[in-house]
Structure 1
Amino acid sequence: MNNNNPMTQVVIQGEYKVSSNPNCKMTTVLGSCVATCMFDSTAGIGGMNHFLLPGGVDSTSEAKTYGLHLMECLINGLLKRGAMRSRIQAKIFGGAYITKGLPDIGSQNMEFARQFLAYEKIPCVGESLGGNSARRVRFWPTTGHAKQLLIHEPNLDKVEQKISRAQAVQKQPSADLELF
């Protein structure tokens, strides 16, 4: 990992990002959502997705937040950038049970991610799933290195929503606008 001019990409709910930049670090905060980090360290390419719900075949704009859609986008993004399918590995994070009395969406997300990777024959070389704590995940896509910090907060769903909203606001400046 080259620490000269590090670049951080924030991946919010319903997004995926792919990079071959050795200075890139991807980050996200998860509650019941799951993030999948996939990489081909030989090619120096990797990416992260962040999905809210496991799957669904739907033509609405909400389908873009589903795990099925984001997993396919991430794999295709890696392949387009030069990754070899046979070398792609994955690490998965998230799936906390955050709101007592409501359905355990986190467990559904975890199960989906594990089943998807098994079906696609993508080895899962690391995971941190479940529990009742949010996670901040940092991922270096060119090497596959990942770190997480558990966030012990009683209102995890509110934390995740607040962070996602703040990150979305940060993204809004247009590409041709340079902020100092």
Structure 2
Amino acid sequence: MTQGRKTVTVIQGDYAVSADPNVMMSTVLGSCVAVCLFDPKAGVGGMNHFLLATAGTTESDDLKYGVNAMELLINRVLKAGGQRSHLQAKLFGGARMTEHARDIGATNATFALDFLAREGIACLSQSLGGVSARRIQFIPSTGAARQMQVSGALPDVAPIKPPAPQPADITLF
């Protein structure tokens, strides 16, 4: 899937769109959600990565909010040659990354599913929820996607011991 492809990294609060068959999009998600949207007939698609479903009481055009990230992704895929009636989606992310706070991941996942349903866009597959981070790779021209779970704690690393002091070669009087 990755061989000979140019990788475009989609960071938090961003999106990318391409019709180039040699482009692969990649992101890492925790409680955030990525929507991989594509038109298989036109061979164009894109990915977004949003942190929160909505801005709450204040209006914002910030892409960290799903409502804005979704609108821009759909519009850019259409502008690049996709047709609304052919759009399909794959969803990833929405993990619960901490036990001690509100489940932002579940809120993000519900928002994305509801948004696609309201817009009449088919969700072909989803990997939402859980407690592990995910690395996503997506080929926007075909809709092929791969997920790799990032699980477990970081391995214990032995502390680095400083070198022992060496005897001085200098004689002091």
Is the TM-score greater than 0.5? yes
Partner of 2:74: 75
Residues 1:102 and 1:28: Cα distance change in structure 2 (over 3 Å): same
Per the TM alignment, residue 41 of structure 1 is displaced from its structure 2 partner at its CA by 1.0
Are residues 1:153 and 2:139 paired? Answer: no
CA drift at 1:56: 2.8
> Aligned residue for 1:27?
26
Residues 1:2 and 1:41: Cα distance change in structure 2 (over 3 Å): farther
SS, match of residue 70 in structure 1? helix
TM-score between the two structures when normalised by the length of structure 2: 0.84
Q: Where do residues 112-123 of structure 1 align in structure 2 (5 Å cutoff)?
A: 112-123=111-122
Identify the residue that residue 96 of structure 2 maps to in structure 1: 97
For residues 56-81 of structure 1, what are the alpha-carbon distances to aligned partners after superposition, in whole Å with 9 as ceiling and x for unaligned? 374556x3210000000000000111
1:154 Cα deviation from its structure 2 partner: 4.3
What amino acid maps onto 1:108 in structure 2?
T
Could you report, residue by residue, the CA deviation over 1:32-73 in whole angstroms, capped at 9, with x for unpaired residues? 000000000110100000000001374556x32100000000
Q: Equivalent residue for 1:107? A: 106
Q: Is the 8 A contact 2:2 2:24 kept in 1?
A: no
Report the Cα distance in structure 1 between the residues aligned to 2:119 and 2:59, rounded to whole angstroms.
23
Within a 5 Å distance, the mapping from 1:1-180 to structure 2 comes to 3=3, 5-56=4-55, 58-60=58-60, 63-154=62-153
Corresponding residue of 1:174 = none
> C-alpha displacement at 1:153, in angstroms?
3.5
Shift of 1:100: 1.2
**Runs of 4 or more above 6 Å deviation:** none
> 2 CA distance for matches of 1:51 and 1:153?
24
Q: Give the CA deviation at 1:2.
A: 9.6
RMSD between superposed Cα atoms in Å: 1.7
**How far apart are the structure 2 equivalents of 1:38 and 1:120?**
12
Give per-residue Cα distances to partners, 1:118-168, cap 9 Å, x unaligned.
Answer: 00000000100000000000000000000000000348xxxxxxxxxxxxx
SS of residue matched to 2:107 = helix
Q: Match for 2:98: what amino acid?
A: T
Return the letter of the residue paired with 1:41. Answer: P
Contact 1:134 1:153 in 2 (8 A): no
Higher helix residue share: 1
Percent identity (aligned) = 52
Q: How many residues align?
A: 153
Q: Is contact 2:30–2:134 with CA below 8 Å preserved after alignment?
A: yes
- Once residues 23 and 110 of structure 2 are traced to their aligned partners in structure 1, the CA distance between those partners, rounded to angstroms, is 29
Q: Secondary structure at the match of 1:65?
A: coil
2-structure distance, mates of 1:64, 1:107: 19
Asked if the contact 1:2–1:23 (Cα under 8 Å) also holds between the matched residues in 2, the reply is: no
Residue 6 of structure 1, CA deviation: 1.3
